[in-house]
Amino acid sequence: MEVYGEYLFMENFLMGLLILHLAGKIAGLVTSKKRLAAGGVLCGLFSFILFVPNLGMGMGTLVKLLFSALLAWVVFHKKIFRAMVLIYLVSAFMGGMTILLLYLTRISGMTSNAVLYIGDIGYVNVAFGAVVSWLLVLAFSRVMAVKQLRERIFTEVIIEIGGHQLVHRALIDSGNFLREPLSGKAVVVISKGAAAQLKQLEDADLSRRYCLIPYNSIGVSHGLLEGYRVDNARVEGRNLGSVVVAVYDREFCRLGEEETYEILLSKDFLMGGIAS
């Protein structure tokens, strides 16, 4: 069959973008639009390996592994192995959907060296298949992320401020909806004791970081909590960036004899992905 280079590039460019976007979503890996676009271009260019004579199992596997490692590094720049695994898993799912589409529509196509070229297919069909696959993977990842979240109760939070680090145990609170009034971002709530440690830090310049967070609760309407914007917060190896920590005016209740904690953490901070 005839192969048109521009169609070959565009098909693999678009599918590459979709696969990389979904892999990042599932793995909880953050990337930029420029890096994502660069990854799509690499996928489009790699598709021309279709014209290379059969590389054989050994050499073909090596080339694919090297390319996937390069792709993961260009797009995500860290946690390369995790990114590679998710790229392969999403690719396998998308490949299955493509084979199903070809079977149901009787559209001709060809494959060589792990590159797929679909012949007589309209862009509407391509867009429909891509959207369906995207929605299915996102729905699956969302369900799995919620399931994992329910299985976790406590975690560790590292607060970075003014060159200092404070490590606290946090309770994952599904009922914590406290947010910054302007940005709408979730807020970390710290206990009176944890706040005392924060206020004792030298060179933290807390006056510049000070803010007020409005809240409503049972018996309290239009209340205000003192807050401080920290440089960064890390949860399970993930950087949350500059977040606001709001100060609760007492210690949190214990859950049993040993279950003490100093932070209430919104579940929003842990919804980065099911493989994160």
Residue 140 confidence (pLDDT): 67
- Average pLDDT value over all residues in the chain: 78
Q: What is the pLDDT of residues 94-111, one digit of tens each?
A: 666 665 555 555 555 555
* Most confident range, picked from 26-30, 113-117, 164-168, 180-184: 164-168
Residue 276 confidence (pLDDT): 46
Residue 157 confidence (pLDDT): 94
Residue predicted with more confidence, 12 or 130:
12
Long-range pairs for 214-217: beta carbons < 8 A, 24 or more residues apart: 214/181, 215/178, 215/246
What is the rounded distance in angstroms from the CA atom of residue 138 to the CA atom of residue 98? Answer: 17
In the numeric block, the tokens 């399931």 are attached to 147
Q: Using a pLDDT cut of 90, give the percent of the chain over it.
A: 23
Residue 188 confidence (pLDDT): 93
Q: Is pLDDT at 141 greater than 70 in this prediction?
A: no
| Two structure tokens written together for 84 | 């590679």
Angle at which helix 80-105 crosses helix 5-27, to 10 degrees, equals 130
Q: What is the pLDDT of residues 7-61, one digit of tens each?
A: 778 877 888 888 888 788 777 777 888 998 999 899 888 877 777 777 677 777 7
Average pLDDT over residues 183-212: 92
Q: Is pLDDT at 204 greater than 50 in this prediction?
A: yes
On whether the CB atoms of residues 57 and 3 are closer than 8 A, the answer is no
Average pLDDT over residues 213-240: 88
What is the rounded distance in angstroms from the CA atom of residue 215 to the CA atom of residue 222? Answer: 6
Residue 198 confidence (pLDDT): 94
152-268 CATH: 2.40.70
On whether the CB atoms of residues 263 and 256 are closer than 8 A, the answer is no
What is the rounded distance in angstroms from the CA atom of residue 161 to the CA atom of residue 79? Answer: 25
Q: What one-character-per-residue DSSP string does 60-114 give?
A: HHHHHHHHHHHHHHHHH-S-HHHHHHHHHHHHHHHHHHHHHHHHHHT--EEEETT
**pTM recorded for the entire structure:** 0.48
Q: Is pLDDT at 273 greater than 60 in this prediction?
A: no
Residue 90 confidence (pLDDT): 77
Residue 107 CB partners (closer than 8 Å, separation 6+): 101, 118, 119, 120, 121, 125
- Bridge-based pairing state of the strands 210-217 and 220-229: antiparallel
Cα-based distances in Å from 153 to 146, 156, 157, 262, 265? 13, 11, 13, 13, 10
Give the active site residues: 173
Among 1-5, 93-97, 139-143, 270-274, the range scoring the smallest mean pLDDT is 270-274
Q: Is pLDDT at 275 greater than 50 in this prediction?
A: no
On whether the CB atoms of residues 20 and 40 are closer than 8 A, the answer is yes
Domain residues of the chain, as ranges? 5-150, 152-268
Cα distance from N-terminal residue to C-terminal residue, the chain: 43
Residue 253 confidence (pLDDT): 75
Q: Is pLDDT at 209 greater than 90 in this prediction?
A: yes
Residue predicted with more confidence, 11 or 195:
195
